[in-house]
Structures are given as structure tokens and as C-alpha cells.
Amino acid sequence: MRDYVSWHDAYDDPSSALSWRLSRVRHHIGLVLDARPGPVTAVSLCAGDGRDLIGVLSARADADRVGVTLVEIDPVLAARAVAAAEGLRVSVLTRDAGDASTYAGIVPADLVLMVGIFGNISDADLENLIRAAPGFCRPGATLLWSRGRDADIGDRNETVRNWFGQAGFREVAYEAREGGERAAMGVVQYEGEAVELDAARRLFTFVR
């Protein structure tokens, strides 16, 4: 697997595709929180150092109504998230996000982040994860996803968008960066009924 600690260095360049994605993800997290009064629960799979959710919450006066769980397997990144989240209601689990049993007591949530995953798993796992996505969501929950469209991994995003539709999600937004690295992200809302995530299920494994 890549060195995901140094992978995060691309965030230092404000013109990078990663910085573009972060700004879009933060924007949509803010919209979700603005639209949802009262308590909110959020979970981020493969959260890295959690700067998307932590960045938004650090700037909000109402952060204490938001309970967050970040699942990140790398202990260095998880430790950074813990440090950055001081004073916020953020739990960091240094666990395997591809193992559905990790989410016992955490899902369903109101806001689900699957950002920085879809380009790093097989197509079979990608479909599997999207079909399992309802189990992460309360009815009406919002899910943010991302997948780049560069030549090395190809553009699978029409398929991804269709799979979300088939799984009971309505697309709220889809944003794609043209020029340079072709990052993209989507926002979907779960319109189906409550379903339980099968804790015995293997969801995905990173291949890069």
C-alpha cells in the first residue's frame, strides 16, 4: 500500500487536486450541517487525518451537536486526527474500515464520508461497498463520495452514480475538476428504508 502519511503532503499545495477536493467536501459538509438542526452523527471511512470534518467543525459554533467517528487504520494519521480534534466530539478508531464489524454501534449515521476510497479498491469491492452503503445511513442521511478520473484508474463515475441510484440514493451534487488531475466528488441522499449493515460482511480491501 502507498505511504498515506506522505500522501497527505499534497494538501500543503492549495492548487492541488486534493486541496480542490477538500474544499468541495468541506463545503458540502457545511451545507449538510446547516440543513440539519439538532444532533447529527457522522462517520468517515478511511478518514486519513480527518481534516475534512475536523476542519468544518473547528470553525462552527454549533460543533458540540455533531458526534463524529473517524475510522483510519494508520496510527500516525489517527494520532494526528486525535490531536486536531481536541475539544470536539470526535472519536478516532484505528481499525479496519473494510470490516463491517468495525461499525457496530456507530451506524446508521446522518452523514457518511467515503472520500479517498473508491479509486483504491477493485471494481468488485466498489460495487459491493455501494450496495452496502444503505446500511451506513439513516433514512435521509447524506453520503459524500469521491473518485478521480485520471488515466491510471479510468473514469468509472457514471457507473458509480448509477450504482448509488440503484441502491436507493438520490444525487444531490456531482462536481468534477477539469485540467490537471481530474478529481471528482459526489453527494447523495439515502431515500430508502432503514437496513442493517451485515457485521459479518467484508466490504473492501485497498489495492494501492
Ligand X SMILES: C[S@@+](CC[C@H](N)C(=O)[O-])C[C@H]1O[C@@H](n2cnc3c(N)ncnc32)[C@H](O)[C@@H]1O
- In the complex, which residues of this chain contact ligand X (CB under 6 A)? 4, 46-48, 71-74, 77, 96-98, 115-116, 206
Q: Which three cell numbers stand for residue 106?
A: 456507530
CB of 50 to ligand X, least distance (A): 8
Grid coordinates standing for 147?
Answer: 473518485
Task: Select 97 or 167, whichever has its Cβ closest to ligand X.
Answer: 97
Q: Which is nearer to ligand X, 77 or 137 (CB)?
A: 77
For ligand X, which is the closer residue by CB, 17 or 40?
Answer: 17
Please identify, using beta-carbon distances, which residue of 43 and 167 lies nearer to ligand X: 43
Nearer to ligand X, 76 or 194 (CB): 76
Closest CB 73 distance from ligand X, rounded Å: 3
Distance in Å, CB of 207 to ligand X, minimum: 10
- For the bound state, the minimum distance from the C-beta of residue 181 to ligand X, rounded and expressed in Å, comes to 13
Q: How far is the CB of 193 from ligand X (least distance, A)?
A: 28
Q: Which three cell numbers stand for residue 125?
A: 469491492
112, with CB counted inside 10 A (0-12, 13-18, 19+), is buried
The 3-state secondary structure of the chain reads: CCCHHHHHHHHHCCCCHHHHHHHHHHHHHHHHHHHCCCCEEEEEECCCCCHHHHHHHHCCCCHHHEEEEEECCCHHHHHHHHHHCCCCCEEEECCCCCEHHHHCCCCCEEEEEECCCHHHCCHHHHHHHHHHHHHHEEEEEEEEEECCCCCCCCCCHHHHHHHHHHCCEEEEEEEECCCCCCCEEEEEEECCCCCCCCCCCECCCCCC
Least spacing, CB of residue 204 vs ligand X, in Å: 7
Return the number of the residue (152 or 193) whose C-beta is nearest ligand X.
152
